[in-house]
Structure 1
Amino acid sequence: MKYLVFASVFFLTTLVYSQELMANQILDNAIKYHDPNNKWSTFKGDFTVVMTTPNNSDRTSEIKINLQQEFFSVNAHRDTVTTFYSIDKGICKMKYNGKVLDSIQAKDKNLSCERAELYKNYYTYLYGLPMKLKDPGTNLDNTVEKKSFKGKDYLVLKVSYDESVGSDVWYFYFNPRTYAMEIYQFYKTDKNGKVKFDSGEYILLSEEATVNDIKMPKIRAWYYNKDDKYLGTDTLINN
């Protein structure tokens, strides 16, 4: 009996350990696909993103990222308005139609350093995937799911985050042959940490643009999870 109990515990432990290795292996393979020369940690590059949304004019954002120098900037144009944010080693700068703003002027234009930080996190996260899934505070679930989405089969990894990082739960869909990331999806959680499946969005990734050896999605189309309503498309233009 003791032997059987021990064998059962050993089997379950081995199973969980194997699943963990499998999830980590898929992530590592995906990173090798998108960052074959291990360049993300020292990424320095600039690119343009055109955001197209229903019933709005396009917004064109010129983005510069230098991870080693701790620099980020985004210069966005829509209609006759241009807004500029930069964070250089923690120092924030803002401009409106080319004019440098102080904190009071920025508030009048609905600009803030908090928004600059939000943009920095947004662009470095989404265009740094899947490499960013190795960041501290990121919790990769041990289980690998096999799912079919819109007629295609995927290997799916579930990711949650430490409370200090974020409360959303994300799912990342990888091509089972190439390990290219083709979809990501997130859900909100309630106060108890339970996933709210009528919340959040999914993002379909298509085509690729290589920016300083990093394979990034060229086109990202955003939809609501609850009703598949189309929200908009981001198109990356390699400068």
Structure 2
Amino acid sequence: MKNLTFFLLVFASTIALAQTITGPELLKKSIQFHDPNNNWETFDGSFIVSMKMPNKPERQSNITISLPKEYFSLQTIKDSLVIESVINKLDCTLSINGSTDLSETLKKEHNLNCKRANLFKDYYTYLYGLPMKLNDEGTIIHPNVTQKIFKGKDYLVLKATYSKEVGKDTWYFYFNPETFAMEVYQFFKDETKNDGEYILLTELETINGIKMPKNRAWYYNKNDKYLATDILSKNASK
């Protein structure tokens, strides 16, 4: 009975908070939790992302992001090959085992090209820059915050859409109502079809003073099918 009473009190307080806090205010509080010293704007660091997928070998990626230098590097190890893509401002460099003298056949075999390198730059910078990246130009933060129970937990939910130049997806970000930590996010291509995916975030890893989610577990919205888990760790050499 005590547990039920406590749950109802928490539930009621979350509803009350959702009714009084605006979307921009919620985002600001979450950024204060994840990046209290405003380090993201000058982020210059490296980290490791290990991806675990069903019935596939684990894949490790060494990632370097320098926002001031406009530099991005993604290095993956595949069998005995070290495959690296580097974006340095407008320049793109592709290499395998340190060699940039690559045939078109070899690049095609390993799906290695500059368009894909830029996509990875945007992907990793966006995901590991959240929730700070929600302040980027072209992001539309909806003013109304909702309260939702998702996978048995109570959340404050922020909706974000994007200008047509930036993107077409609809995103929802789920925040802990007590700490304002980001614990789930979800996106839809077409919400009426319940497509897209949701991502459960657990634990934290502090990289350059920023509290980043350590584990990201990906699932389909439509059937809860598990896809993969990304595990973040510090680069010991940095």
With normalisation by structure 1, the TM-score equals 0.86
Structure 1, unmatched stretches of 5+, are: 1-18, 190-194
Q: Secondary structure at the match of 2:194?
A: strand
**Equivalent position of 2:166 in the other structure:** 165
**Alpha-carbon distance in structure 1 between the residues aligned to 2:40 and 2:173:** 19
Deviations 1:35-62 (A, max 9, x none): 0001100001100000000011011000
Counterpart of 1:33 in structure 2 is 33
Looking at CA atoms only, which structure, 1 or 2, has the larger radius of gyration? 1
Question: What are the superposed Cα offsets for residues 78-98 of structure 1, whole Å, 9 maximum, x if unpaired?
Answer: 333332101001100011233
1:235 paired to 2:235: no
User: Helix, strand or coil: the match of 1:100?
Assistant: coil
Shift of 1:150: 1.1
* 2:3 alignment partner in structure 1: none
How much does 1:99 deviate?
A: 2.1
Which structure has more strand as a fraction of its residues?
Answer: 1
Q: Does 1:117 align with 2:118?
A: yes
How many Å separate the matches in 2 of 1:145 and 1:101? 53
Moved over 6 A (4+): none
Q: Look up the match of 2:64.
A: 64
Within a 5 Å distance, the mapping from 1:44-123 to structure 2 comes to: 44-101=44-101, 104=104, 105-123=106-124
Look up the SS of the partner of 1:116 in the other structure.
helix
Is the deviation greater in 99-108 or in 223-232? 99-108
What's the CA shift string for 1:80-127, capped at 9, x where partnerless?
333210100110001123321457353454211000000000000000
- 1:202-221 equivalences under 5 Å are 202-221=198-217
Task: Measure, in 1, the Cα distance between the counterparts of 2:143 and 2:176.
Answer: 18
The gaps in structure 2 that reach 5 residues or longer are 1-18
Say whether the 8 Å CA contact 1:75–1:85 is kept in structure 2.
yes
What is the SS of the residue equivalent to 1:63? strand
Aligned-partner Cα distance in 2 for 1:221–1:233: 4
Corresponding residue of 2:184: 183
Mapped contact 1:58–1:78 kept (Cα < 8 A): no
Could you say what the CA RMSD is over the residues aligned between the two structures, in angstroms? 1.8
Number of residue pairs the alignment of both structures matches? 217
Structure 1: distance between partners of 2:201 and 2:83: 27
Question: How many Å separate the matches in 2 of 1:206 and 1:78?
Answer: 27
Q: Distance in 2 between matches of 1:69 and 1:96?
A: 24
3-state secondary structure, aligned to 2:107 = helix
2:148 aligned residue: 147
Indicate if the aligned counterparts of 1:155 and 1:176 stay in contact, CA closer than 8 A.
yes
How far did residue 197 of structure 1 move?
3.6
Inter-partner Cα distance in structure 1 for 2:205 and 2:197: 23
Secondary structure in structure 2 of the residue aligned to 1:237? strand
Amino acid at match of 2:224: D
Q: In the TM superposition, what whole-angstrom CA distance separates every residue of 1:147-185 from its partner, at most 9, and x where no partner exists?
A: 001111000001011111111110000000000000000
Write the letter of the residue equivalent to 1:33. Answer: F
* Matching of residue 225 in structure 1 with residue 221 in structure 2: yes
Does the C-alpha gap of structure 1 residues 101 and 133 become closer, same or farther in structure 2, counting only changes over 3 Å?
Answer: farther
Cα distance, 1:79–1:179 mapped onto 2, change above 3 Å: same
Q: Distance in 2 between matches of 1:90 and 1:116?
A: 12
Task: Provide the secondary structure at the position in 2 that maps to 1:173.
Answer: strand
Q: Partner residue of 1:136?
A: 137
Aligned to 1:6: none
**Secondary structure, aligned partner of 1:142:** coil
Q: Spell out, residue by residue over 1:178-234, the C-alpha distance to the aligned partner (whole angstroms, 9 max, x if none).
A: 000000000003xxxxx3442100000000000000110000000000000000100
